[in-house]
């Protein structure tokens, strides 16, 4: 790591072109020298829990919670320290060891702590600590609880590696680590075939994205000779635009896989087969936002690749509507939330695709979403806990009386996500829509429409779950969850409400400036307050529609089948699986069968023909080996004669 403490921001006046910050970290001192410990703690927890086996059964869950809490405390201390520093000194790099060196390719185990990673550290460790605590209650009756905590710790360590690495290869290590943890946790109840299949599906689809990621890394090495953020960001401006576009598109492919963006979105809904805390932590708050992190972190790539940036925006718009539409038709409470997650990550990607105007808001929305979505997932878990693990909202109704704490906390999350004025989601989503409108009307319209649809399906969820008539089975007795589960809910609810304070005095944009560059100010066609008003009206329309269609009618216990085409499409995930099947799986099957046939007839034919030839030759030659010494002697003599003659002939 370079140790210079020169200004991170080269002057913004470079020929009118806005500058892209260069990663240039300084050496760690004080508490920052403990940076590695943030990762090492949960990693050690995972090792102890997974290697320790049954010995750790009795206290393993508390150990798992403690390690993550320790990381959280450390993150807070470092964050406070970082706050006290100048802008120019807010990038701290820690070189742990030389990971590997092959010829010119050198990769160090380097960590980078800057304003962006600092926010992620707080979000990941904070939400993780709460979810670990919640899981102590949620998984109480599971005989494999210790293993669950081991996996969770592994996930946290990998996620922290992902956001702390100072090198794309290090990011990739974390990237694969969270993929592994996600796979293990989706399939945690592996006795259920659906869970095992979902885990496999998530793993396979993520591989597609990972290919993009790894190709991007290789291309970076070929182009720049390094994969460190510092080296790539310094040289990014010198590469040709087509190279940067290729790198950007490949990174986008990686981001699509991890963040469930169209066309690699199909795994996220199935991933809800995992235990609910997993859905809250991995498939809502943290891992699925890794794509947004990647795009934001690689701002020096995307700033030099406008085409790739446009691609990001297009993918994001499609996804945010896609997820929202799916959310409207699902009856499974977790799948509604999963569709919503897709849609909200679409918003983040949209912001990230807008360049410096949006990076900070992408991260801002990511953080607030982390709070309110984790809150709602845990709330859903609490509902399931109280209703005998039923996930069908048609079997709920009027739960607000039976589960007041869950209801109230869930309501906070609900208000946040629909963007009720004053709640955290309002601030973050509003900013993204503003930026989108300023960029392009079409994009702005999509974002606005998404906000309305979000309001509709979330209101539908609220009504079907907590209001309307009781529809649960007589033997089900809904009850409030234990303290260990409700306390995290309360904390997350508070954060959902108050998350907007990050925007006070434009703090979050200023904070992230050293990483993503100056926020550009685009002129809006209408005053900001008017636009905000429009957004609120659209949201109100969505809510009103839901109240009319769901709240005022009888909700049948069985989903009606004679529904419109749109509903059918949305129920089957907008045919995401069918598309994959038609475009990839079946052609892949044909290709494989073709290859097998070619292999069997062509390649095997040559090989077996060759083998047959050798075998035949062998049996012919074996006849010379008849056991008679006279034949052998003749062979020696013949050989000698030929040798002598040849030797003489060669010379003449």
Partner 1 sequence: MNDEFTGPAIEWARLWPLFAVFGTALVGVAVEAFAPRSARCLIQSSVAGVGLAVALVGTVLVALELPERAGGAARGDVTAGGAVVVDGPTVFLWGLLVVVTVGGLLLFAERRVDAGLPVFAGQASLPPGSTAGPGGPGEPSYEDWEHTEVYPLLVFALGGMMLFCASGDLLTMFVALEILSLPLYLLCGLARRRRLLSQEAAMKYFLLGAFSSGFFVYGMALVYGYAGTLNLAGVAVAVRAGGGQEVLLLVGAAMVMVALLFKVGAVPFHSWTPDVYQGAPTAVTAYMAAATKIAAFGAILRFLYVGLGDARWDWAPLLWVVAILTMLGGVVLAVGQTEIKRLLAYSSIAHTGFLLTGVLGLQASGDLAEGQISSLQAVLFYLATYGVATVGIFAVTTLVRDPGGEAGSVARWTGLGRTSPLVAGAFAVFLLSLAGIPLTAGFVGKWSVFASAAGAGAWPVVAVAITSSIIAVYFYVRHIVTMFFADPPEDAPVVVVPSPLTSVTIAVALIVTVALGVVPGPLLDLAGHAGQFVR
Residues near partner 1 (CB under 8 A) are 611, 614-615, 617-619, 621-622, 624-625, 627, 629, 631-633, 635-640, 642-644, 646-648, 650-651
State the burial class of residue 57 (Cβ atoms within 10 Å of its Cβ: 0-12, 13-18, 19+): middle
Please report, to the nearest 10 degrees, the dihedral formed by the alpha carbons of residues 328, 332, 333, 336 taken in order. Answer: -30
Q: How far is the CB of 603 from partner 1 (least distance, A)?
A: 14
Classify the C-alpha dihedral 548-551-555-561 as positive or negative: positive
Return the axis-axis angle of helices 441-466 and 528-546, rounded to nearest 10°: 40
Partners of 100 in the β-ladder: 107
* Alpha carbons 174 and 280: distance in angstroms, whole number: 19
Q: How far is the CB of 631 from partner 1 (least distance, A)?
A: 7
* Nearer to partner 1 (CB atom), residue 4 or residue 618: 618
Partners of 101 in the β-ladder: 106
Phi-psi region of 304 (alpha: psi -120 to 50; beta: other; left: phi over 0): alpha
* Nearer to partner 1 (CB atom), residue 594 or residue 612: 612
> How many Cα atoms occupy the beta-carbon half-sphere of 502 within 13 Å?
29
Q: How far is the CB of 643 from partner 1 (least distance, A)?
A: 5
Identify whether the C-beta of residue 565 lies closer than 8 Å to the C-beta of residue 403.
Answer: no
- Residues whose CB is less than 8 angstroms from the CB of residue 611 and which lie 6 or more positions away in sequence, other chains included: none
* Nearer to partner 1 (CB atom), residue 13 or residue 648: 648
SS3 137: helix
Q: How far is the CB of 600 from partner 1 (least distance, A)?
A: 19
* Alpha carbons 121 and 469: distance in angstroms, whole number: 43
- DSSP-derived letter for residue 482 is P
Q: How far is the CB of 613 from partner 1 (least distance, A)?
A: 9
Please report, to the nearest 10 degrees, the dihedral formed by the alpha carbons of residues 196, 197, 203, 207 taken in order. Answer: 150
Q: How far is the CB of 306 from partner 1 (least distance, A)?
A: 47
Classify the C-alpha dihedral 252-258-264-268 as positive or negative: negative
* Alpha carbons 9 and 90: distance in angstroms, whole number: 12
* Nearer to partner 1 (CB atom), residue 565 or residue 652: 652
Q: How far is the CB of 428 from partner 1 (least distance, A)?
A: 55
Identify whether the C-beta of residue 78 lies closer than 8 Å to the C-beta of residue 121.
Answer: yes
Q: How far is the CB of 621 from partner 1 (least distance, A)?
A: 5
CA 571 to chain centre: 24
Q: How far is the CB of 49 from partner 1 (least distance, A)?
A: 33
Element (H, E) at 43: helix 35-52
* Nearer to partner 1 (CB atom), residue 6 or residue 635: 635
Q: How far is the CB of 595 from partner 1 (least distance, A)?
A: 22
Q: How far is the CB of 305 from partner 1 (least distance, A)?
A: 41
* Nearer to partner 1 (CB atom), residue 561 or residue 651: 651
Q: How far is the CB of 624 from partner 1 (least distance, A)?
A: 7
Q: How far is the CB of 644 from partner 1 (least distance, A)?
A: 4
* Alpha carbons 492 and 130: distance in angstroms, whole number: 8
* Nearer to partner 1 (CB atom), residue 469 or residue 622: 622
Q: Closest Cα partner for 595 from 583, 603, 605? A: 603
End-to-end CA distance of the chain: 70
Angle at 290 between CA 284 and CA 294, to 5 degrees: 155
Residue spans of alpha helices (H) in 84-144: 115-138
* Nearer to partner 1 (CB atom), residue 190 or residue 635: 635
Tokens 């470092």 sit on residue:
78
Q: How far is the CB of 607 from partner 1 (least distance, A)?
A: 10
Identify whether the C-beta of residue 268 lies closer than 8 Å to the C-beta of residue 291.
Answer: no
Tokens 């983040």 sit on residue:
348
* Nearer to partner 1 (CB atom), residue 537 or residue 641: 641
Tokens 């293990």 sit on residue:
184
* Nearer to partner 1 (CB atom), residue 501 or residue 642: 642
* Alpha carbons 426 and 421: distance in angstroms, whole number: 5
């Amino acid at each position: 790591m370079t140790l210079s403490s020169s200004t991170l921001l080269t002057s913004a006046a470079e020929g009118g072109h806005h500058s892209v910050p260069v990663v240039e970290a300084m050496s760690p001192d004080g508490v920052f020298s403990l940076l590695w410990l943030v990762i090492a703690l949960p990693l050690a927890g995972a090792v102890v829990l997974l290697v320790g086996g049954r010995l750790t059964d009795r206290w393993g869950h508390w150990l798992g919670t403690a390690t993550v809490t320790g990381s959280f405390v450390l993150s807070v201390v470092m964050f406070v320290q970082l706050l006290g520093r100048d802008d120019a000194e807010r990038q701290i790099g820690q070189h742990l060891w030389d990971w590997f060196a092959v010829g010119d390719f050198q990769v160090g185990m380097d960590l980078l702590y800057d304003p962006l990673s600092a926010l992620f550290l707080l979000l990941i460790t904070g939400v993780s600590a709460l979810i670990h605590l919640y899981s102590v209650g949620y998984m109480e009756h599971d005989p494999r609880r210790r293993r669950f905590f081991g996996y969770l710790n592994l996930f946290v360590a990998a996620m922290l590696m992902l956001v702390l690495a100072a090198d794309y290869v290090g990011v990739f290590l974390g990237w694969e680590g969270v993929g592994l943890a996600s796979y293990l946790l989706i399939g945690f109840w592996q006795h259920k075939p659906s869970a095992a299949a979902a885990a496999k599906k998530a793993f396979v689809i993520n591989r597609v994205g990972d290919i993009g990621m790894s190709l991007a890394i290789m291309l970076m090495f070929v182009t720049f000779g390094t994969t460190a953020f510092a080296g790539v960001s310094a040289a990014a401006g010198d590469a040709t635009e087509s190279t940067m576009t290729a790198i950007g598109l490949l990174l986008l492919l990686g981001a699509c896989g991890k963040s469930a963006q169209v066309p690699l979105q199909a795994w996220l809904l199935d991933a809800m087969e995992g235990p609910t805390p997993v859905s809250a932590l991995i498939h809502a708050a943290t891992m699925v936002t890794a794509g947004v992190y990647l795009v934001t972190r690689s701002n020096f790539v995307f700033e030099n690749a406008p085409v790739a940036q446009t691609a990001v925006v297009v993918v994001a718009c499609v996804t945010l509507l896609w997820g929202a539409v799916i959310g409207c038709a699902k009856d499974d409470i977790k799948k509604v939330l999963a569709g919503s997650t897709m849609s909200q990550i679409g918003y983040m990607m949209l912001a990230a695709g807008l360049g410096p105007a949006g990076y900070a808001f992408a991260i801002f929305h990511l953080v607030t979403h982390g709070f309110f979505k984790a809150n709602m997932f845990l709330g859903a878990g609490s509902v399931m806990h109280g209703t005998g693990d039923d996930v069908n909202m048609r079997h709920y109704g009027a739960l607000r009386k039976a589960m007041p704490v869950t209801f109230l906390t869930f309501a906070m999350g609900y208000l946040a996500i629909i963007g009720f004025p004053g709640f955290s989601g309002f601030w973050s989503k509003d900013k993204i829509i503003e930026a989108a409108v300023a960029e392009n009307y079409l994009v702005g319209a999509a974002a606005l429409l998404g906000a309305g649809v979000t309001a509709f399906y979330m209101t539908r969820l609220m009504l079907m779950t907590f209001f309307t008539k009781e529809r649960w089975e007589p033997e089900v007795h809904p009850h409030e969850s234990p303290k260990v589960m409700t306390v995290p809910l309360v904390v997350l609810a508070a954060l959902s409400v108050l998350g907007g304070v990050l925007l006070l005095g434009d703090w979050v944009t200023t904070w992230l400036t050293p990483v993503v560059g100056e926020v550009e100010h685009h002129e809006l066609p209408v005053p900001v307050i008017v636009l905000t008003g429009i957004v609120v009206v659209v949201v109100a329309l969505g809510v009103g529609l839901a109240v009319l269609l769901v709240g005022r009618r009888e909700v049948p216990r069985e989903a009606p089948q004679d529904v419109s085409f749109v509903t059918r499409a949305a129920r089957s995930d907008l045919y995401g699986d069918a598309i994959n099947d038609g475009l990839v799986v079946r052609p892949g099957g044909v290709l494989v069968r073709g290859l097998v046939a070619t292999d069997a007839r062509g390649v095997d034919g040559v090989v077996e023909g060759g083998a047959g030839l050798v075998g035949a030759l062998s049996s012919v030659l074996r006849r010379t080996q008849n056991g008679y010494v006279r034949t052998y002697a003749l062979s020696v003599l013949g050989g000698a004669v030929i040798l002598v003659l040849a030797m003489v002939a060669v010379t003449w």
